[in-house]
Structure 1
Amino acid sequence: MSAHDFDNCIQTTAGLVEAEVSGSGIPILILHGSPGGIDAARSMSHFLDKDRFKVICLSRPGYLNTPLSPDPDHRSIDDEAELIAALLDTLGIPRVGILAWSGGGPVAYQLASRHPHRVSSLVAIAAGSSSWIAPKTHITERIVFGTKLGERMIKFMSAHWPKHVVEAALEGEGSLRGNELHVLAEQVMADPAQSQLVLEMALTVNVGGPRKEGWENDVKNFASIKSLGLEQVQCPVLLIHGDADTDALPSYSESAHARLPLSKLVIMPRGTHLSFYAHPQAHEVQEKAKKWFLDHA
């Protein structure tokens, strides 16, 4: 790995974090899912206006250039929350809004419950809120999403047959099939922001290479979740979930809504795991999220 690969790495009291800050205004911390990395966080943040929001993107532990702790006993969700708190200290940012998607949910809840004064509000998109067991994957899936060859295939397909990649992503992240799936894929392809997001995300979900350690650590941590301290979360939480999501079932957001002291739940009809970014109502819910951050800053 060459020296410039670590340009974005910030040394904190709790360890090294690959992170970057852009824009100005209300600070928003972006927590990507599993697998992912700073590239996924950047894609997630495109909808936030850079003149109203200061965006903090990072790679969670074990992803890309954020190393896992050398001590196997310090790789928990709690440890990750402390690492992020240390990053905010190093950046001199006392308080943030958090945008968390999917596997970024557990650490977002943990950070908000452990450091209530640090989190002004939270937007949780299809976010894990209790234990999750990784499903067994088919050999084809393991090749496409777990190898260098698979990564090259997706890059090639994205460049030459983007609609195929978009439709396959929507199919893999939800229960839509047949004409319903086809219509949604057409709608997403007709919207440059939506299609760009899906194509960018397709390149960040490989569970091999520089994302392997993070993925394996998340799988282990998520399987053993007992409590994320949801009852102690003091900030307002906006929960957004598609009702056709098969990756993180809507029950994660429904049960979180029942346990969080201050939350609002938005269910997106026929929405997949990608619905916040790829859905007829995506623009509308993104505006809701921005307003949530502005109203609770």
Structure 2
Amino acid sequence: MSDPTPATVDAELGTIEYADVGSGDPVLFVHGSPGGSDQGELMTRFLVAAGRRVIAPSRPGYLGTALTDANSTPAAQAELHLALLDALGIDRVAVMCWSGGGPSTYLLASGHPERVSAIAALAAVSGPFTFKGGLEDRLLSGRLGPWLVDEMAKHSGRSLVKSTLAEEGDLGTAELKELVEQVWDDPTKRSFVLELSATVAGRKVGLDNDHRQFPELPDLGLAAVSAPVLLVHGTADADVPPAHSDHALAALPEAELLSVDGGTHLAAWTDPTSDAVQARIADALSAG
């Protein structure tokens, strides 16, 4: 199957929306905060191009996966991931997660080790986490968010790229300018950033739930994860501190850290070394 149009399956914990793209060995992609199945389709295009099938669900509260009392916690979301795999007849899967997709990914792998062959955790939350918030986040998550992003993408794309990269990285003026130029001059990276903005705008219900859940995260069972894990983190990440990957590296039984010097929260897609980073991710997901 290679249709990015979302489909749904019904599970005990609620209806799950997901995209199913590409063909080959399956990879489950767990999106960030905010996000959705569309973000998964965007962030994994390099895997589809490399011959992998990607299943990208929307976590509860995002797009077509409704948030309920029963599925609000990361532990329940891990069970939703499992239910989706069962519905699709997938016994064992590699998992790639980004940012706020970390908690449910680790809980899936620790609770059901026989189902997860390998993990690539990109700037992933690995323990209690408090969002930094701010005016920009409130504007994007509100009802006007999608309209604002669409207008900026149409009429001020370069400014949207700059504001996105500035928000995602702790970069100096010269470093930010250089990265913006590099991304803007690369059609693939430019398109990625412009499309990404549409996958985070207006996602208030799911984001509010993540804001409630993440500061009080329970033990994610990192020590019980048997799958090999590639951790990828930019040293200039302004959203999820690199300490989250350092913590995971120390706790996971089999893990490797790929630290991207000067990389932002989007290092795997926008850094000058992103092609090499993506190749490492693809190799890691073929392990196990």
CA distance in 2: counterparts of 1:13 and 1:117, whole angstroms: 21
How far the C-alpha of 1:74 sits from its partner, in A, is: 4.3
How far the C-alpha of 1:255 sits from its partner, in A, is: 0.8
Cα deviation, 1:233-263, whole Å, max 9, x if unaligned, reads 0000000000000100000001100100000
CA distance in 1: counterparts of 2:54 and 2:6, whole angstroms: 18
1:107 partner amino acid:
S
Cα deviation, 1:13-46, whole Å, max 9, x if unaligned, reads 4321001322221100011100111111111111
How far the C-alpha of 1:134 sits from its partner, in A, is: 2.0
Q: Is the 8 A contact 2:6 2:19 kept in 1?
A: no
Q: State whether structure 2 residue 225 is matched by structure 1 residue 233.
A: yes
Q: Is the 8 A contact 1:121 1:292 kept in 2?
A: yes
2:236 partner amino acid:
A
Residue aligning to 1:159: 154
Q: Percent identity?
A: 40
Q: CA separation of 1:157/1:7 partners in 2, compared to 1, >3 Å: closer, same or farther?
A: closer
Runs of 4+ in structure 1 off by over 4 angstroms are none
- Specify which of 117, 142, 146 is matched with residue 147 of structure 1: 142
CA distance in 1: counterparts of 2:6 and 2:274, whole angstroms: 33
Superposition CA RMSD, Å:
1.6
CA distance in 2: counterparts of 1:88 and 1:229, whole angstroms: 21
Q: CA separation of 1:39/1:117 partners in 2, compared to 1, >3 Å: closer, same or farther?
A: same
Q: CA separation of 1:106/1:7 partners in 2, compared to 1, >3 Å: closer, same or farther?
A: closer
Q: How does 1:249-260 map to 2 (within 5 A)?
A: 249-260=241-252
Relative to structure 2, which stretch is displaced further, 151-160 or 225-234? Answer: 151-160
- Specify which of 193, 205, 214 is matched with residue 213 of structure 1: 205
Residue aligning to 1:84: 81
Q: CA separation of 1:7/1:34 partners in 2, compared to 1, >3 Å: closer, same or farther?
A: closer
Give unpaired runs (5+ residues) of structure 2: none
How many residues are paired up?
Answer: 284
Q: Is the 8 A contact 2:14 2:71 kept in 1?
A: no
2:274 partner amino acid:
A
What is the TM-score of this pair, normalised by structure 2?
0.94
Residue aligning to 1:244: 236
CA distance in 2: counterparts of 1:38 and 1:223, whole angstroms: 24
CA distance in 1: counterparts of 2:119 and 2:31, whole angstroms: 14
Residue aligning to 1:65: 64
Q: CA separation of 1:141/1:224 partners in 2, compared to 1, >3 Å: closer, same or farther?
A: closer
Give unpaired runs (5+ residues) of structure 1: 1-5
Q: State whether structure 2 residue 134 is matched by structure 1 residue 137.
A: yes
Residue aligning to 1:3: none
Q: State whether structure 2 residue 85 is matched by structure 1 residue 93.
A: no
Cα deviation, 1:184-208, whole Å, max 9, x if unaligned, reads 01111122221111111111222x4
How far the C-alpha of 1:160 sits from its partner, in A, is: 2.3
What is the TM-score of this pair, normalised by structure 1?
0.91
2:7 partner amino acid:
N
Q: State whether structure 2 residue 173 is matched by structure 1 residue 178.
A: yes
Q: State whether structure 2 residue 186 is matched by structure 1 residue 191.
A: yes
CA distance in 2: counterparts of 1:167 and 1:124, whole angstroms: 25
Q: Is the 8 A contact 1:28 1:96 kept in 2?
A: yes
Q: Is the 8 A contact 1:24 1:50 kept in 2?
A: no
